[in-house]
Amino acid sequence: MVVGNLRPATVTVDLAAIRHNVSEEIARLDGHTEMFAVVKADGYGHGAVPVAQACAEAGATGFCVALLDEALELRAAHFTQPILVLGITPANEAAIAAANDVSLTFGTLDWLKDAQADLAAHAHRNLKVHIALDTGMGRIGFREEDDLAAAAQYLTAHADSFTTEGVFTHFATADEKDTTYFHAQAKRFNELVAVLPKRPRYVHVSNSATSLWHAACNGNMIRFGVAIYGLNPSGRGIPEVPYPLQPALSLTSELTFVKQLHQGDAVSYGATYHASGDEWIGTIPLGYADGWLRRLQGFHVLVNGALCEIVGRVCMDQFMVRLPNKVPVGTKVTLVGSDQGTTISMQDVADYSRTIHYELCCILTQRLPRRYINQ
């Protein structure tokens, strides 16, 4: 996708906020616990490489991604820290991972056997692996002790092909006030880990929510994700956090067209909005092709610090707002961020959209250029 550098619409990422969030969490960790920064999905839409650099500067010692391709992007950018792919990579890519010193996740004995065959076909390069345990997320990983024991035995027998670097699970409800299911998962994790003949270097269970609110479970490594970007993992579910999270992302644009409508005049597809009288309407040059959702009709943006309602349906490339008065073309519009003391947070957008801020950050498309400040 082409980047809209010649259009007035920009995602701005404050790298000082990234460094603040990471360093504050590292300060809470004991001296035996490392932080791996989760920069998958292009750093949750913020930009994987500049975010990873800021995290490393703040003290993160490794990175987590979702795809092998994302790991290779970091290697191409000359990051030498450990990198773990959290998802299941096809076993026939094992040699590529090993050649680039990337750690892979597995959750079945069959995967190990297939990966070993791929490694053997490429001169037995050694692959670092992390054992995934499904303790209740229902996504990937070993569920039964017998299956895990068989895999552990295979790893021992093929120590020339594999280095068992880690074991982990993922909590489904660490961001909720009710901890019943969380504690059941923690118990199951301990039961499964007890099957292993010895603990690997990294034993990790903590995502952002777990580390923020259940630090006793951290193990010796945390996978710090959404909180890096200054976003509360629970949304509004658990507002209390150990330190202020600083949102790193803002989204701004400009008015490209301003006109006056009269009573009864309609706006946008479907004519779902009609002016109730004489109204000033401004057009903003981005839309759902940029990740600004069609369902945001009725929400608002900031113009000169004033909340301005989105009127009519959001189009693919443009949307319209009702202005308090005639405003010049070229006036700044804040979709996410602060203007003259008023703030629209990504959580505000998520609440209106009936989704989560994770999703909204990730769907901001590459057509929106990323600008980095406080590098």
Binding residue positions: 139, 316
Would the CA dihedral through 227, 229, 230, 232 be positive or negative? negative
What is the CB neighbour count within 10 angstroms for residue 48?
22
185, 171 in Cβ contact below 8 A? yes
- Per-residue 3-state assignment (H helix, E strand, C coil) for 260-306: EECCCCEECHHHCEECCCCEEEEEECCCHHHCCCHHHCCCEEEECCE
**Is 179 strand, coil or helix?**
coil
Q: What amino acid is encoded at 301 in this protein?
A: V
Q: Which residues contact 106 (CB under 8 A, 6 or more apart)?
A: 88, 112, 115, 129, 130, 131, 132, 151
235, 350 in Cβ contact below 8 A? yes
Active-site residue list: 40, 269
Q: What are phi and psi of 317, to 5 degrees?
A: -125, -5
Distance CA 336, CA 14 (A): 13
**Is 311 strand, coil or helix?**
strand
Distance CA 257, CA 70 (A): 39
**Is 337 strand, coil or helix?**
strand
Kindly give the residue spans of alpha helices, DSSP state H, lying in the chain.
15-28, 40-44, 48-58, 68-76, 94-99, 109-121, 145-157, 180-193, 208-213, 346-353, 357-362
Q: Which residues contact 15 (CB under 8 A, 6 or more apart)?
A: 50, 51, 53, 54, 248, 372, 373, 374, 375
Binding residue positions for substrate: 139, 316
